[in-house]
Structure 1
Amino acid sequence: MKIIGLSEQEVSKSREKFGSNRLSEAESESFLDKLKGNFSDPMIKILSAALLINVIIYILSLMGLVSAEVEWYEPVGIAAAIAIATLVSTFSEYRNENAFRALQEEASKVLCRVYRGGEIREIPSDDIVTGDFIMLGAGDRIPADGIIFEGDIRTDQSVLNGESKEARKTPRPENAPENEDKTDLLCPYRVFRGTVVCSGTAVMVAEVVGDRTLYGEIAGELRQEDDRESPLKVKLGALAEGISKFGYMGGVAIAAALLIHKIVSAGSFGAYFAAGAAGIITDLLDALILAVIIIVMAVPEGLPLMIAIVSAMNMRKMLADNVLVRKIAGIETAGSLNILFSDKTGTITKGQLEAVVFADGNGNEYKSIGGIPERLGKLVSLCILENSTAVMSGGKAVGGNATERAVLSFLGETSSDSRFKKLFVLPFNSDNKYSASSVEGAGFRGTLIKGAPEKLISRCTHFIDGEGRKIPLDDSIVNGKIDILAGRAIRVIALAISEGMLSEDSVALPDGEFTLLGILGIRDEVRPESAEAIKEVRNAGVQVVMITGDRIDTASAIAKEAGLLTGDGNELTLTSSELAEMTDDEVKKRLRDIRVIARALPSDKSRLVRIAQELDLVAGMTGDGVNDSPALKKADVGFAMGGGTEVAKEASDIVILDDNFSSIDKAVLYGRTIFNSIRKFIIFQLTINVSAVAVSFISPLLGMDNPLTITQILWVNLVMDTLAALAFGSEPALSRYMREKPKSRKEPILNSYMKTEIITGAAWVFVLSLVMLLTGIDTSSGTLKETGLIGSFFRSYEGNGTEYLLTGYFSFFILAAVFNAFNARTEKINLFDNIGANKGFLKVMGMITAVQVIMTYLGGRVLGCYGLNFKEWAVVIFMALSVIPVDIIRKLIINKKFKTGG
Structure 2
Amino acid sequence: MEQLHGLKQSEVTESREKYGSNVIPDSEPTTFWKEFRETFQDPMIRILVAIALLMIVMFFFGYAQIYEPLGTIVAILVVAFVTARTGVASDSKYRDLKNSVKKEQSKVYRDSIIRMIDSDDIVVGDLVLLQAGDKIPADGILVYGHLSVNNAALNGETEECHKEAVDKDQPFPEQITGDTFVDGFSLFRGAIVYDGEGVLLVKKTGLQTMMGHMALEMQEEEPASPLQVKLSILAGQISKIGYTGAVVIALLYMIHFVILAGGPAAYMVQGWQNIFMDVINALTLAIVIIVCAVPEGLPLMISLVLMQNTSKMLDHNVLVRKAEGIETAGALNILFSDKTGTITKGEMEVVQFFSGDGTIIDTKQINNYPDIREKLHVAIGKNTSSMFDEHHRVISGNATDQALMKFLGEDSYLKMKEDPSLEVFASQKFNSSNKFSQAQIGGLTYYKGAPERLLQKADRYMGTDGQLHPLDLSCINQRIDTLAKKAMRVIAFGYSEEPLQENCISGNLVLIGMAAIRDDVRPEARIAIHDVQKAGIQVVMITGDRLETASAIAKDAGLVHSDEDVCLTSTMLNSMSDEEVKKILPHIRVIARALPTDKSRMVRLCQEENLVVGMTGDGVNDSPALKRADVGFAMGSGTEAAKEAGKIVILDDNFNSIKDAILYGRTIFHNILKFCKFQLVINVAAVLVSAIAPFFGVDEPLKVTHLLFVNLVMDGLGAMMLGNEPALPEYMDEAPRKRTDPLVSRSMMYQIGIMGIWLTVLSLFYLTSDWTRSFFETDKQFLTSYFVLFIASALFNGFNVRDDGFRIFGHLKENPDFLKVFFLILFIQFAIINVSLLPVKAFTFISAMFSCVPFGVRGWLLAYCMAFTMIPVDMIRKAVMRIFYK
Shorter-chain TM-score category? over 0.9
Q: Is the 8 A contact 1:162 1:601 kept in 2?
A: no
Cα pair distance change 1:246/1:122, threshold 3 Å: same
Deviations 1:13-46 (A, max 9, x none): 2222222111122234322112111211111011
Structure 2 counterpart of 1:785: none
SS in 1 for 2:136: coil
- Which residue is 2:849 aligned to? 862
Amino acid at match of 2:289: I
Q: Deviations for 1:801-833, whole angstroms, at most 9, x for unmatched residues?
A: x11110111110000000001101211212112
1:397 Cα offset (Å)? 2.8
What is the CA–CA distance in structure 1 between the aligned matches of 2:873 and 2:174, rounded to whole Å? 75
Give the conservation status (yes or no) of the 8 Å contact 1:162–1:602.
no
The verdict on how the C-alpha distance between 1:681 and 1:825 changes in structure 2, with shifts beyond 3 A counting, is same
User: 2:426, 2:441 within 8 Å by CA — same for their partners in 1?
Assistant: no
* Corresponding residue number in structure 2 for 1:381: 377
SS in structure 2 of the partner of residue 750 of structure 1:
coil
| Rounded Cα–Cα distance in structure 1 between residues aligned with 2:530 and 2:159 | 30
Q: Secondary structure at the match of 2:815?
A: helix
Q: Is the 8 A contact 1:685 1:721 kept in 2?
A: yes
Mapped contact 2:317–2:657 kept (Cα < 8 A) = yes
1:181 Cα offset (Å)? 3.4
Match of 1:365?
360
* Mapping 1:640-659, distance limit 5 Å: 640-659=634-653
Could you list the per-position Cα deviations for residues 835-860 of structure 1 after superposition, in whole angstroms to 9, with x for gaps in the alignment? 11111011001101111122121242
CA distance in 2, matches of 1:659, 1:830: 36
Q: How does 1:241-640 map to 2 (within 5 A)?
A: 241-368=236-363, 370-371=366-367, 373-393=369-389, 394-412=391-409, 413-414=411-412, 415=414, 416=416, 417-437=419-439, 439-441=440-442, 444-446=443-445, 448-466=446-464, 468-502=466-500, 506=502, 508-510=503-505, 512=507, 514-566=509-561, 568-640=562-634
Aligned ranges for residues 658-737 of structure 1 at < 5 Å? 658-737=652-731
| Cα separation, partners in 2 of 1:604 and 1:17, compared to 1, 3 Å | closer
| Shift in Å, 1:721 | 0.4
Do the aligned residues in 1 keep the contact of 2:145 with 2:198 (CA within 8 Å)? Answer: yes
Give the residue type in structure 2 aligned to 1:110. Answer: E
CA distance in 2, matches of 1:137, 1:53: 70
Q: Rate the CA distance shift 1:665–1:42 in 2: closer, same or farther, 3 A.
A: same
Contact kept, 8 Å, 1:548 with 1:600, in 2: the verdict is: yes
Counterpart position of 2:88: 94
Q: Which residue of 2 aligns with 1:845?
A: 822
Q: CA deviation at 1:713?
A: 1.2
CA RMSD, Structure 1 to Structure 2 (Å): 2.1
After TM superposition, the structure 1 stretch with the greater mean CA deviation from structure 2, 303-312 or 354-363, is 354-363
Q: Say whether the 8 Å CA contact 2:296–2:711 is kept in structure 1.
A: yes
Matched letter for residue 49 of structure 1: A
Q: Identify if the C-alpha distance between structure 1 residues 711 and 201 changes in structure 2 by more than 3 Å, giving closer, same or farther.
A: same
Between 91-100 and 5-14, report the one with greater CA deviation: 5-14
Shift of 1:739: 0.7
Out of 874, 877, 881, the position equivalent to 1:890 is 877
Partner of 2:155: 161
Distance 1:112 1:378, change over 3 A: same
Q: Distance in 2 between matches of 1:328 and 1:551?
A: 37
Distance 2:327 2:619 in 1: 25
Asked if residue 181 in structure 1 is aligned to residue 174 in structure 2, the reply is: yes
How far did residue 751 of structure 1 move?
Answer: 0.6
Q: Is the 8 A contact 2:149 2:192 kept in 1?
A: yes
Q: CA deviation at 1:611?
A: 2.2
Q: Distance in 1 between matches of 2:144 and 2:420?
A: 34
Mapped partners of 2:433, 2:277: distance in 1? 95
Partner of residue 791, structure 1? 773
Q: Is the 8 A contact 1:86 1:304 kept in 2?
A: no
The separation in 2 between residues aligned to 1:178 and 1:672, in whole angstroms, is 52
Instruction: Measure the CA separation in 1 of the matches of 2:721 and 2:858.
Output: 30
Task: Name the CA shift for 1:430/1:643 in 2 (closer, same or farther; >3 Å).
Answer: farther
Give the distance between the partners of 2:701 and 2:648, measured in 1 at CA. 49
- Residue 324 of structure 1 deviates from its aligned partner by 1.3
Separation in 1 of the partners of 2:612 and 2:135?
35
State the shift of 1:173 in Å: 2.8
Superposed CA offset, 1:157-197 (max 9, x none): 233233333221222236x6558637543442221111111
Does the CA-based 8 Å contact 2:138-2:189 persist in structure 1? Answer: yes
Amino acid at match of 1:60: F
Q: Is the 8 A contact 1:21 1:210 kept in 2?
A: yes
For the Cα contact (< 8 Å) 1:255–1:288, is it kept in 2?
A: yes
Instruction: Say if 1:500 and 1:510, in contact at 8 Å, map to a contact too.
Output: no
Equivalent-residue separation in structure 2 for 1:179 and 1:116 (angstroms): 22
- The answer to whether the aligner puts 1:152 opposite 2:146 as a matched pair is yes
Q: Output the CA distance in 1 between the equivalents of 2:435 and 2:37.
A: 60
* Compared CA separation, residues 699 and 198, structure 1 to 2 (3 A): same
What TM-score, normalized by structure 1, do the two folds share? 0.92
Spell out, residue by residue over 1:649-687, the C-alpha distance to the aligned partner (whole angstroms, 9 max, x if none).
Answer: 222111111111111111111111111111110101010
Secondary structure of 2:3 counterpart: coil
Task: Name the CA distance, whole Å, in 2 between partners of 1:539 and 1:24.
Answer: 41
Q: Matches of 1:817 and 1:677 in 2, distance apart?
A: 17
Q: Distance in 1 between matches of 2:193 and 2:320?
A: 31
Cα distance per residue 1:325-350 (max 9 Å; x no partner): 11122112111111111122222222
Aligned residues: 865
The answer to whether the Cα contact below 8 Å between 1:372 and 1:466 also exists between their aligned partners in 2 is no
Aligned-pair CA distance for 1:552: 4.0
Alignment match, 2:54: 53
* TM value normalised by structure 2: 0.94
Q: Which amino acid aligns with 2:493?
A: L
Q: Name which of 222, 227, 230 aligns with 1:227.
A: 222
Moved more, 320-329 or 265-274: 265-274
**Does the 8 Å CA contact 1:332/1:674 hold for their aligned counterparts?**
yes
Shift of 1:423: 3.3
Hey, what does 1:836 align to over in structure 2?
813
Residue 367 and residue 292 in structure 1: after superposition, are their counterparts in 2 closer, same or farther (change >3 A)? same
Shift of 1:301: 0.5
CA deviation string 1:598-641 (max 9, x = no partner) = 34333332232222222221111111112112221222211111
**Aligned-pair CA distance for 1:107:** 4.1
Alpha-carbon distance in structure 2 between the residues aligned to 1:492 and 1:326: 42
Q: Which sits farther off after the overlay, 74-83 or 147-156?
A: 147-156
Q: Which amino acid aligns with 2:7?
A: L
Q: 1:307 to 1:178 in 2, by over 3 A?
A: closer
Cα distance between partner residues in 1 of 2:125 and 2:786: 82
Q: Which runs of no fewer than 5 residues in structure 1 stay unpaired?
A: 62-67, 776-787
Choose which of 193, 199, 204 in structure 1 pairs with 2:200.
Answer: 204
Cα distance in structure 2, aligned partners of 1:431 and 1:831? 72
CA shift for structure 1 position 372: 5.2
Which residue identity is paired with 1:454?
E
Partner amino acid for 1:536? Answer: D
Contact 1:160 1:627 in 2 (8 A): yes
> Does structure 2 retain, via aligned residues, the 8 Å contact 1:501–1:510?
no
User: In 2 relative to 1, CA 878–807 (structure 1 residues): closer, same or farther, beyond 3 Å?
Assistant: same
State the secondary structure of the residue aligned to 1:435.
strand
Per-residue deviation at 1:744?
1.2
Shift of 1:722: 0.5
Instruction: Give the Cα–Cα distance (whole angstroms) in 2 for the partners of residues 342 and 186 of structure 1.
Output: 23
Deviation of 1:534 after TM superposition, in Å, equals 1.5
Give me the whole-angstrom Cα distance separating, in 2, the residues matched to 1:404 and 1:548.
24
Q: Distance in 1 between matches of 2:830 and 2:100?
A: 54
Q: Distance between the aligned counterparts of 1:529 and 1:53, measured in 2?
A: 56
